[in-house]
A and B are shown apart, each in its own frame.
Chain A
Amino acid sequence: MPDKITISINGTEIKTEEGKSILSVCKENDIHIPVMCHFPGLTDVGACRLCLCEVKGYNKLLPACTTLVAENMEIQTHTEKLKEYRRVIVEMFFSERNHMCSICVANTNCELQDMATEVGMQHVRFPFLNQECAVDASHPKYVIDHNRCIMCTRCVRVCSEVEGAHNWDVKNRGYNARVISDFDQPWGESETCTSCGKCLNVCPTGALWAKGSVQGKLDKFPEKITDLIEKRGIH
């Protein structure tokens, strides 16, 4: 049995157990924290930085998804500073590649779009980087549009941790980093892809979709993947 501990979130005392992340304790207590790279059941990587919190005694902001709670921890999840930082981070996402919603399959069914609303983004203060990104439609059923990818690596993790195929990985560094199929081959030539479609369902944006998807009418079933993970008892 894990030890019972008491922590405080935004000034409210909460009784919980050791071994849980700040994020999961927040979820259990209906405190909503914005997340982008986190996907329930997959290993957390702490990459999107949207879940950063202030924890008393730490001079750095800590990600709620990867930080475990500890006795007497005092956590703040929505200070003015955090809200401002989250807005700037979402602006950075929008400035990185092409996120023109009106011409995207995921329009109205996109976590990035929702996030912009949630953090109150009104404009992007940085110039768009206008990167040239490929669209790979070599797979018989699916498409990956790198212009829409935000490098959350959910697809990489679901493919390796749940499907066990490890088709996806990451190449290059910095803003040149890209998700790749096998050893950077066209998706259609992958020897590991089982065409299971799990990556499509965990993708937060319109980067991964099935051929025939219509703009604004993209179907995604992330909860099915979560369900599967729970039933199989992964982790």
Chain B
Amino acid sequence: MNTNELKELSEKIVEEGKAFKKKVCVCCGAGCLSSGSEAVLESMKQTIKDKGLESTVQVIPSGCMGPCNQGPLVKILPEETIYEKLDGDAVEALVDDHIVKDTPQEDKLLFSEYRDKPFVDSREDPFFKRQKRIVLENCGRINPESIEDYIGVNGYQALAYALHRSSPEHIIGEIKLSRLRGRGGAGYPTGFKWETVYRHVADQKYVVCNADEGDPGAFMDRSILEGDPHRVLEGMILAGYAIGATQGYAYIRGEYPAAIKRFEEALKQARKKGFLGRSIMGSDFSFDVEIRIGAGAFVCGEETALLASIEGKRGTPRPRPPYPAESGLWGKPTLINNVETFANIAPIVISGGTAFGEVGTPKSAGTKVFALAGKVQISGLIEVPMGTNLRDIIFEIGGGIPGGHKFKAAQTGGPSGGCIPEQHLDHPVDYESLQELGSIMGSGGLIVMDETSDMVDVARYFMEFCVDESCGKCIPCRVGTKQMFDLLTKIYEGRATDIDLATLEQLAHVVKDTSLCGLGMSAPNPLLSTLRFFKEDYIQHLKDSALANV
């Protein structure tokens, strides 16, 4: 397929879409699937057929819409009305009311239990109003298993532009201009990484997509892959073109069978249409992608461990330098980026780096997807401009703390991050400000805690995770995390003294400074940040032990 054919196909798809008066998207994201959306989809298809509406109403399964706890969700376009908590039996009445009689069913509208007057146009609801969707723009609106749907929303236009009207240098230049930073946690500038790999001369280079997502409670990358797999794939192909690679690997967690299936399907469709494989879109650029399935070890998300795993070795990290950009898969220059990073590429190529950089803060451009969870009224998948403050995320988007409880801490970055107290809620969320607060952006986990949470217990929970997930290669992490966990347990159970607390703190610094990879280096973060902002919780436990020993 060449550029003109793509354009014609895209126009044709859009035209065909216009034949339908309405588009009904049934959310088949992980959350909605688990609450029974498959039955809703079947029932919806059947009802539309039975009522003879097939020629005017299109029904599709879609990716995640965001408010995962309210599922199964159904969104009706073009009016953007979302209905919640549906089941197969509710579908007929809904179709009768909303579609046939054109009167929305108030009591089934999204967030009807929280809002005095729920919104018929979901975009007006505070949950969506504060968000900005770049990465998730197609998620929940297209059928992830249909390449035509993706082409209908300008899919593969960025690739066509790159191949026929641009150059690798120009694409890298745009990525640099955009100031995009890696969404996998560390926030390394993506354009510089691409340029480094581009500059290394080698007979073979590789592109790797890190879809290992092992943080407890995180499901950003999963939702992107399940909801818009072609977007990620297009980003990978563009990367291959820019750095001069011919082979890509997507390393996807085995626990994500739907993501694997949909990505596999996307690969097949893209090959068939000539976006993947030999002479892509009639150019002299060839590139293909294979899936590698991870076995669920958190450490395999660390880039060098991931590469070892792809090579068929035990998934343990190795010291860097050399960085993968210089010596990665089988010793060849390798570009490794996160799923969300790749999902940002096509929009940058289409709208230009400068325009992309207008969203966000000077140092952190664009948006960030978060998995909002814990003690908030509304949890789920959200995407906000970088620089949005935590207070807005938790109280506006998340609707605040339920049950009349008081906010205590926001945890970002999972087991590698920290806990942010009330007095810092107005800090804009970006890489630097979170780091200043002893936390990290991480891949996007955001857990809200209320005053019933004991921060010693929180630190202990994350430390236990690191003990279990430490690969065991280097001594500070292998033994240090276990010793810190035991000390935290001792404090938690009221058996500790001041000396234990001092030992714990010293150990935390040694493990942070001497561990081989990011897992060990950041394992003390939850502990150190709770010690910094919630020392009173620790003191209380020490007092309890002093009393117990009287």
Binding site for B on A (CB under 8 A): 45-49, 52, 60-63, 66-68, 85, 88-89, 92-93, 95-96, 125-127, 129, 150-151, 169-170, 172-177
Quote the shortest CB–CB distance from A83 to chain B (angstroms): 12
Identify the closest chain A residue to B506 (Cβ): A88
Quote the shortest CB–CB distance from B308 to chain A (angstroms): 12
Knowing A173-B297, A173-B469, say if A85 contacts B510 (CB, 8 Å). yes
Would you list which residues of chain B between 493 and 550 have a CB under 8 Å from chain A? 503, 506-507, 510, 513-516, 521
Quote the shortest CB–CB distance from B486 to chain A (angstroms): 7
Count, A-B residue pairs, CB within 8 A: 97
Other-chain contact of A61, B470, B475, B513 (Cβ < 8 Å): B513
The contact sample of 28 A-B pairs, CB cut-off 8 A, is: A46-B516, A47-B474, A47-B516, A49-B514, A49-B515, A52-B514, A61-B514, A66-B319, A68-B321, A85-B514, A88-B506, A92-B475, A92-B483, A93-B475, A125-B503, A126-B483, A126-B507, A127-B486, A129-B479, A150-B475, A151-B473, A151-B478, A170-B314, A173-B297, A175-B467, A175-B482, A177-B471, A177-B472
Q: Is B22 an interface residue (CB 8 A)?
A: no
Across-interface contacts of B482 in A (CB, < 8 A):
129, 174-175
**Residue among B472, B473, B475 facing the most chain A CB atoms (10 A cut-off):** B475
Other-chain contact of B510, A89, A175, A176 (Cβ < 8 Å): A89
**Residue among A66, A85, A175, A176 facing the most chain B CB atoms (10 A cut-off):** A175
Knowing A173-B470, A174-B471, say if A46 contacts B513 (CB, 8 Å). no
CB pair A49–B476 under 8 Å, yes or no, is yes
CA distance A66 to B323 in the complex (A): 12
CB pair A174–B475 under 8 Å, yes or no, is no
Q: Is B318 an interface residue (CB 8 A)?
A: yes
CB pair A173–B514 under 8 Å, yes or no, is no
Across-interface contacts of A126 in B (CB, < 8 A):
483, 503, 507
Across-interface contacts of A62 in B (CB, < 8 A):
319
Q: Is B107 an interface residue (CB 8 A)?
A: no
Across-interface contacts of B475 in A (CB, < 8 A):
47-49, 89, 92-93, 96, 150-151
CA distance A46 to B321 in the complex (A): 12
**Residue among B321, B474, B481, B515 facing the most chain A CB atoms (10 A cut-off):** B474
Quote the shortest CB–CB distance from A54 to chain B (angstroms): 10
Across-interface contacts of A88 in B (CB, < 8 A):
506-507, 510
CA distance A201 to B343 in the complex (A): 52
Quote the shortest CB–CB distance from B490 to chain A (angstroms): 9
Would you list which residues of chain B between 303 and 319 have a CB under 8 Å from chain A? 314, 318-319
CB pair B480–A176 under 8 Å, yes or no, is no
Binding site for A on B (CB under 8 A): 297, 299, 314, 318-319, 321, 467-476, 478-483, 486, 503, 506-507, 510, 513-516, 521
Additional 10 contacts, C-beta under 8 A, given A88-B506, A88-B510, A89-B514: A46-B318, A46-B516, A89-B475, A173-B299, A173-B469, A174-B469, A174-B471, A175-B467, A175-B482, A177-B473
CB pair B319–A176 under 8 Å, yes or no, is no
Interface secondary structure of B, over-half rule = helix
Across-interface contacts of B478 in A (CB, < 8 A):
96, 151, 174-175, 177
Quote the shortest CB–CB distance from B122 to chain A (angstroms): 44
CB pair A95–B483 under 8 Å, yes or no, is yes
CA distance A62 to B482 in the complex (A): 23
Identify the closest chain A residue to B499 (Cβ): A125
Quote the shortest CB–CB distance from A39 to chain B (angstroms): 16
CB pair A67–B321 under 8 Å, yes or no, is yes
Identify the closest chain B residue to A150 (Cβ): B475
Knowing A46-B474, A63-B319, A67-B321, say if A174 contacts B481 (CB, 8 Å). yes
CB pair A45–B472 under 8 Å, yes or no, is no
CB pair B515–A151 under 8 Å, yes or no, is no
CB pair A176–B472 under 8 Å, yes or no, is yes
Quote the shortest CB–CB distance from B50 to chain A (angstroms): 54
Other-chain contact of B467, A52, A172, A174 (Cβ < 8 Å): A174
CB pair A173–B483 under 8 Å, yes or no, is no
Across-interface contacts of B299 in A (CB, < 8 A):
173
Across-interface contacts of B318 in A (CB, < 8 A):
45-46, 66
CA distance A126 to B314 in the complex (A): 30
Quote the shortest CB–CB distance from A72 to chain B (angstroms): 16
CB pair A45–B513 under 8 Å, yes or no, is no
CA distance A73 to B510 in the complex (A): 24
CB pair B479–A92 under 8 Å, yes or no, is yes
Quote the shortest CB–CB distance from A25 to chain B (angstroms): 16
CB pair A173–B474 under 8 Å, yes or no, is no
Across-interface contacts of A150 in B (CB, < 8 A):
475
Quote the shortest CB–CB distance from B282 to chain A (angstroms): 44
In the A-B complex, list the 9 residue pairs whose CB atoms are closest, starting with the nearest.
A177-B472, A46-B319, A174-B470, A92-B479, A66-B319, A49-B514, A88-B510, A126-B483, A174-B472
Across-interface contacts of B473 in A (CB, < 8 A):
45, 47, 151, 177
Across-interface contacts of B514 in A (CB, < 8 A):
49, 52, 61, 85, 89
Across-interface contacts of B319 in A (CB, < 8 A):
46, 62-63, 66-67
CA distance A195 to B468 in the complex (A): 34
CB pair A48–B503 under 8 Å, yes or no, is no
Quote the shortest CB–CB distance from A151 to chain B (angstroms): 7
Quote the shortest CB–CB distance from A53 to chain B (angstroms): 11
CB pair B472–A48 under 8 Å, yes or no, is no
Quote the shortest CB–CB distance from B198 to chain A (angstroms): 22
CA distance A88 to B513 in the complex (A): 12
Across-interface contacts of A127 in B (CB, < 8 A):
483, 486
Quote the shortest CB–CB distance from A201 to chain B (angstroms): 23
**Residue among A61, A66, A169, A174 facing the most chain B CB atoms (10 A cut-off):** A174
**Residue among B468, B483, B521 facing the most chain A CB atoms (10 A cut-off):** B483
Identify the closest chain B residue to A68 (Cβ): B321
Across-interface contacts of B479 in A (CB, < 8 A):
92-93, 95-96, 129, 175
Across-interface contacts of B469 in A (CB, < 8 A):
173-174
CA distance A110 to B371 in the complex (A): 51
CA distance A95 to B483 in the complex (A): 9
Quote the shortest CB–CB distance from B152 to chain A (angstroms): 45
**Residue among A61, A62, A92, A151 facing the most chain B CB atoms (10 A cut-off):** A92
Across-interface contacts of B474 in A (CB, < 8 A):
46-49
Across-interface contacts of B486 in A (CB, < 8 A):
127
